Amino acid sequence: MIAIDDLKFKDNLIPAIVQDHQTGEVLMFAYMNRESLEKTLDSDIAHYWSRSRGKLWKKGESSGHIQHVRDILVDCDMDTLLLKVRQDGAACHVGYRSCFYRNIKGDIVGKKVFDPEDIY
């Protein structure tokens, strides 16, 4: 077992990459503090730290788009996490399954699965 104390938090946060556990699609990127990681480990439901709102953030709390955590990988430097999840609905608040729905050329490469106006 890797202990939470083994992980390297920077300014109390650790980056978390979120990936669909079956398709491998990268869904989003967020930060966790110690409390959100503990809640995630306890519940198997992804919790993050919202830097914009300055508070604990249970993903999907308002939208219902919960992330069920299947595994958590740790990188060689112990300063980044990779969550393997089953995503209910979509990860992106804009309505795409993944937040990475555009490439740098501006092409839409992702799949839209809901209309934000129906949800929020």
Q: Which of 32, 46, 85, 92 binds a second copy (CB under 8 A)?
A: 92
Read off the DSSP letter of residue 29.
E
| Interface with a second copy, residue 105, by CB under 8 A | yes
| Interface with a second copy, residue 77, by CB under 8 A | yes
Rounded Cα gap, residues 109 and 24, in angstroms: 15
Radius of gyration over every alpha carbon of the chain, rounded to an integer in angstroms: 14
**Amino acid identity, position 113:** V
The region of 42-50, 59-67, 86-94 touching a second copy under the rule CB under 8 A is 86-94
Q: Which helix (H) or strand (E) holds 83?
A: strand 81-87
Query: Contact positions toward a second copy, by CB under 8 A?
Result: 1-2, 15, 17, 19, 23-26, 28-29, 41, 71-77, 80-82, 92-94, 96, 99-106, 109
